Amino acid sequence: MILITGGAGYIGSHCAIDFIKQGYDVIILDNLSTGHMEIIERLKEFSSKEEVNGNFIDFINADIRDTYALNVLFNTYKIDCVIHFAANSLVNESVIDPKKYYNNNVTGSISLLNAMVENNVKKIVFSSTCATYGEPEYVPIDEKHPQKPVNPYGNTKLAMEFAIKDYAKAYGLKYAIFRYFNVIGADKDGVSGEWHDIETHLVPNILKADESKVFKLFGDDYDTKDGTCVRDYIDVCDLAHAHTLAYEYLKENTSTIINLGTGDGQSVKEIFSAVEKTLEKEIPLENHPRREGDPAKLIANPELANTVIGWKSQTPLENSIKNANEWEKILKILQNKENKVQENFSRKAIL
């Protein structure tokens, strides 16, 4: 059985979909601070479909810092591997409120590692980030690139990379650490997609843009092909499948650290134009000055992922954008539904 922490969130929910498709039973642990109960319901509905063999899925509404809840969970279910996503991940917020990030991303993750050790769970796949590299000294970035984070978010992820390595040496854990680049897209069947209360990601912000909410482009004077930042955009479903492959790899092999990206880079303007082409309409845009700390280029060297776990990015950018756009239509319905539930709850509280 697979435990997915943060499984009600964007990447975690897609990971749950992939594990279910591969025939695994899944437990999701999430405190719903940024995840959504509606996503859990959609995952349960998906897992009950005949074509996915009726895999078992359960949900525990708890925090990774709740040691009692963790021990009850590990004593109730026979967990073979932990896929750890639960973390705060907004770079700007981490600068403003580092206490929140160290408390959750580090203290919470240490709590999870301790519970694993106490309950003899030996395998973990950890969601890290290319933010641990900081300002790139060269591109494409391989796993040997120096790690010099430039913000608290990157610092907390790097701290946990060190902690996981130390726990592995001392307690016999096996790990796969994934350093993600830029994630886009949504499940092609519409089970899940990006749903953030504060949306910071490029593609959904372009998709949401209209005359009342103009898309803001930050910086057009970088040393790149068109002056805008270049990033390595990886489809969320491709990313999710890497976690299933990592779990299967850890059954027979030693620990590993891997970049997850495509090895290709698109500029902000190129992504913007691709979205306009997909939607077949012009999107309003405003140019703004650079944001502090945005590197000109972040592109992964993905060779190790292919060599070690047999993973390669498969989804064309156009498909990722189409799936994201279809999800935006579903999301409007889900948000209206959630708002009505909250309104009814507030009325009952007043009465």
**Is-contact 261 299, C-beta < 8 A?**
yes
Q: What one-character-per-residue DSSP string does 318-339 give?
A: HHHHHHHHHHHHHHHHHHHHHH
Q: Which of 174, 302, 347, 173 lies closest to 248 in space, CA to CA? A: 174
Question: Strand, coil or helix: what is 220?
Answer: coil
Give the amino acid at 150: V
Task: Compute the C-alpha angle 163/164/167, nearest 5°.
Answer: 85
CA distance 283 to 266: 18
Q: Which of 24, 121, 106 lies closest to 70 in space, CA to CA? A: 121
Virtual torsion, Cα 94, 95, 97, 103, nearest 10 deg:
50
Task: Compute the C-alpha angle 3/113/100, nearest 5°.
Answer: 95
Bridge partner residues of 58 (DSSP)? 27
The span from the first CA to the last CA of the chain, in angstroms, equals 44
Alpha helix (H) residue ranges in 106-261: 109-118, 152-171, 202-208, 236-252
- Find all residues with CB under 8 Å of 51, minimum gap 6, and list them: none
**Residues belonging to the chain:** 351
Catalytic-role residue among 10, 24, 133, 153: 153
Question: Active site includes 153?
Answer: yes
Virtual torsion, Cα 51, 330, 321, 181, nearest 10 deg:
-80
Q: Which residues are catalytic?
A: 153
